[in-house]
């Protein structure tokens, strides 16, 4: 049974009732941890007044910290899956994925990062060359290549949208297997997920207009809806399996 975006949102709102404190708190805690880790490298670059060495160190730190943050994000995913499955959830679960083969998540992040880099590299190189040399033609070509690279990049990223959900649900699933399973599950579902993201644009604008405070509620709402999209795609919403009240069990996909 395919549910509409409105139905998935309704289910998500019901699941978040009584859990808003944890949902908001875990997102805030993750952002604070990542900001605190990145801040020394940012100030190093700032105080160097644009030094190239410090800038490269800052970029490297961004990639490394982002790689670690994906493990935390998967911890957040497990918490939201807990809300959906009526399991016990706590802020401490944010760090739980570090004990469940975190290398899988990091490799998955590096895979996605590499895909984005390959798709955007030609346009970025042309833009840099054009900006440094003042060649208008190179800048124009760079812009065209950049936007042309967005199309295949988004298509691939939407195909892999369920990769981390699958690895959270299946502790022994590797990156390649999750890549394949996500690709199969997203056949015929990429447009649906894209529409769900579009449906949150209005809420996101309102959240930003409130100096970002509204995003404290919009982000959990969007994440819970995405979790329920995943649960529907793996047919969990229709099967209504029994849970033991502990951590997420392994589910058969397809």
In the chain, DSSP assigns E strands to: none
Candidates 254, 181, 204, 223; CA nearest to 84 is 223
146 occurs within a structural domain: yes
Question: Would you state the pLDDT for residue 220?
Answer: 95
Average model confidence (pLDDT) across the chain: 88
The helix/strand/coil state of 181 is helix
4 occurs within a structural domain: no
8 occurs within a structural domain: no
Averaged pLDDT, 90-99: 93
Query: Quick check: 20 pLDDT over 60?
Result: yes
Q: In which element (H, E) is residue 85 found? A: none
Cβ–Cβ contacts within 10 Å for residue 97, how many?
24
> Using only C-alpha atoms, what is the Rg of the chain?
20
Distances (CA, A) of 33 to 100, 167, 212, 217: 20, 23, 18, 19
- Rounded to whole angstroms, how far apart are CA atoms 70 and 185? 22
Question: Would you state the pLDDT for residue 18?
Answer: 92
135 occurs within a structural domain: yes
Burial call 149-177: b when 16+ CB within 10 Å, e when fewer: beeebeebebbbbbbbbbbbbbeebebee
136 occurs within a structural domain: yes
Candidates 66, 168, 54, 46; CA nearest to 112 is 66
Out of 78-92, 120-134, 150-164, 224-238, least confident range? 120-134
Query: Quick check: 109 pLDDT over 60?
Result: yes
132 occurs within a structural domain: yes
Q: Fill in the DSSP letter of residue 63.
A: H
5 occurs within a structural domain: no
Query: Quick check: 51 pLDDT over 80?
Result: no
Q: Find how far residue 47's CA is from the centre of its chain.
A: 31
- Rounded to whole angstroms, how far apart are CA atoms 187 and 165? 16
Burial call 180-217: b when 16+ CB within 10 Å, e when fewer: ebbeebbeebeebbeebeebbeebeeebeeeeeebbbb
7 occurs within a structural domain: no
Q: Find how far residue 145's CA is from the centre of its chain.
A: 25
The total of structural domains in the chain comes to 1
Question: Would you state the pLDDT for residue 50?
Answer: 64
For 155, the domain range is 14-239
- Rounded to whole angstroms, how far apart are CA atoms 79 and 86? 10
């Amino acid at each position: 049974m395919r549910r509409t975006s409105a139905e998935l949102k309704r289910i998500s709102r019901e699941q978040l009732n009584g859990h808003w404190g944890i949902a908001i708190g875990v997102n805030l805690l993750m952002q604070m941890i990542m900001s605190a880790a990145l801040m020394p490298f940012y100030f190093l670059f700032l105080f160097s007044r644009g030094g190239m060495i410090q800038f490269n160190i800052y970029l490297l730190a961004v990639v490394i910290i982002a790689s670690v943050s994906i493990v935390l994000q998967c911890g957040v995913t497990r918490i939201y899956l807990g809300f959906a499955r009526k399991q016990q959830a706590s802020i401490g679960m944010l760090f739980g994925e570090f004990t469940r083969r975190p290398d899988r998540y990091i490799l998955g992040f590096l895979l996605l990062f590499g895909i984005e880099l390959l798709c955007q590299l030609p346009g970025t190189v042309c833009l840099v060359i054009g900006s440094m040399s003042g060649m208008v033609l190179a800048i124009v070509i760079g812009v065209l290549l950049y936007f042309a690279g967005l199309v295949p990049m988004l298509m691939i990223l939407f195909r892999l949208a369920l990769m981390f959900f699958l690895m959270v649900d299946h502790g022994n699933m590797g990156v390649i297997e999750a890549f394949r399973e996500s690709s199969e599950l997203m056949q015929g579902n990429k447009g649906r997920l894209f529409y769900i993201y579009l449906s949150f644009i209005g809420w996101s604008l309102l959240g930003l207009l409130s100096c970002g405070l509204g995003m404290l509620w919009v982000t959990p709402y969007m994440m819970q809806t995405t979790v329920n999209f995943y649960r529907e795609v793996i047919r969990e919403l229709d099967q209504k399996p029994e849970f033991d009240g502990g951590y997420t069990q392994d589910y058969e996909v397809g």
